[in-house]
Amino acid sequence: MLEFHSIPINAFNENRKIRVYVPDHYQSTQTNFPVLYMHDGQNVFNDREAIGGVSLGLEKYLNDKKLDVIVVAIHQNSKERLNEYCPWADGAYCEDVLGKPSTTGGMGKQYVDFIVNELIPFIDSKYRTLQNANAIAGTSLGALISTYAVCVYPEAFQHVAGISCAFYRNQEEIEKLLFESNLSHIKSFYMDCGDKEAKNDHVVSEKFLKSNERVFEIIKNKIPYSQFKVVKNAEHHYKYFIDRVPHLFTFLNRDMN
């Protein structure tokens, strides 16, 4: 069952649409549920309103599996997505990947502040949520901002997952932050990357993969229950992302089963 809310983001002086999935048996039980927060909300649950026409298909997947989890999907602001999902302005590694300078990014802190200080309290007040069992996940840049969030708000999230992680835009800064952060609170960290992210551009695909490998080299030494999966022949598109949904939930199963 999907429910819809409009929540003000004070820092951006706007309201943002939020989709909330609750299990069909939510009303017939008094159970408290873990919560998974996700970005790019239009593309989380079904294809009907998905940008590009393809979603992760979580509504059907969760209904079929009957998982005990609440999923909160935050709509993207398409015009500001690159800014909101990047905590810092694009760095040198990003310029190398793109082959040109880029100055986007830098609004990620305000976006994460909204999730932690405004959205989570709203969800906790309206739904029966399980304390100390929050997860945050995303695809592409959603993985970057999720990783940033667990570093700067260690008390807010216990699980993090990224599909086709686009760390490259803030490569230097996210590596430094991960290296300096205490991640002992994280119960699980899942990340993956296709080996053909840029389709036929093998040079960019290799740089994309190398970006992920550098990040995981730090994470694996800090979080015992972590995994990095290289997905053979997978490109940077939802038709490839959707195949990883079962693995994502399997990895997050400590609080979700």
What is residue 256's predicted lDDT score, i.e. its pLDDT?
56
Q: Which residues pair with 15 in a beta bridge?
A: 8
Q: How far apart are CA 170 and CA 131, in angstroms?
A: 31
Residue 251, pLDDT > 80, answer: no
Domains along the chain with CATH numbers:
2-256 (3.40.50.1820)
Residue 58 backbone dihedrals phi, psi, to 5 degrees: -70, -30
Q: At what angle do helices 202-219 and 171-180 cross, to 10 degrees?
A: 10
For 34, other C-beta atoms within 10 Å of its C-beta total: 23
Tokens of 226: 């972590």
Q: State the average pLDDT for the chain.
A: 95
What is residue 244's predicted lDDT score, i.e. its pLDDT?
95
C-alpha to C-alpha distances, 128 to 28, 35, 50, 59, 178, nearest whole angstrom: 12, 10, 28, 19, 32
Tens of pLDDT along 146-205? 999 999 998 999 999 999 999 999 999 999 999 999 999 999 999 999 999 999 999 999
254 pLDDT band, cuts 50/70/90, is: low
DSSP line for the chain: -EEEEEEEEGGGTEEEEEEEE--TTGGG----EEEEEESSGGGTS-STT-TTS----HHHHHHHHT-S-EEEEEPP-TTTHHHHT-SSB--HHHHHHHTS----B--HHHHHHHIIIIIHHHHHHHS-EEEEEEEEEEETHHHHHHHHHHHH-TTT-SEEEEES--GGGGHHHHHHHHHHS--TT-SEEEEEEETTTTTT-HHHHHHHHHHHHHHHHHHTTT-SSEEEEEETT--SSHHHHGGGHHHHHHHTHHHH-
Residue 202 backbone dihedrals phi, psi, to 5 degrees: -65, -30
Residue found under tokens 């990883």: 244
247 pLDDT band, cuts 50/70/90, is: confident
Tens of pLDDT along 35-80? 999 999 999 999 998 999 999 999 999 999 999 999 999 999 999 9
For 203, other C-beta atoms within 10 Å of its C-beta total: 10
Pick the closest to residue 137 from 160, 158, 153 (CA basis).
Answer: 160
What is residue 51's predicted lDDT score, i.e. its pLDDT?
96
The mean pLDDT value for 18-27 works out to 95
What is residue 255's predicted lDDT score, i.e. its pLDDT?
59
What is residue 86's predicted lDDT score, i.e. its pLDDT?
98
What is residue 55's predicted lDDT score, i.e. its pLDDT?
98
| Dihedral angle sign, alpha carbons of residues 184, 155, 129, 44 | negative
Decide which of 229 and 256 is more confident: 229
252 pLDDT band, cuts 50/70/90, is: confident
Half-sphere exposure of 166 (CA within 13 A, CB side): 23
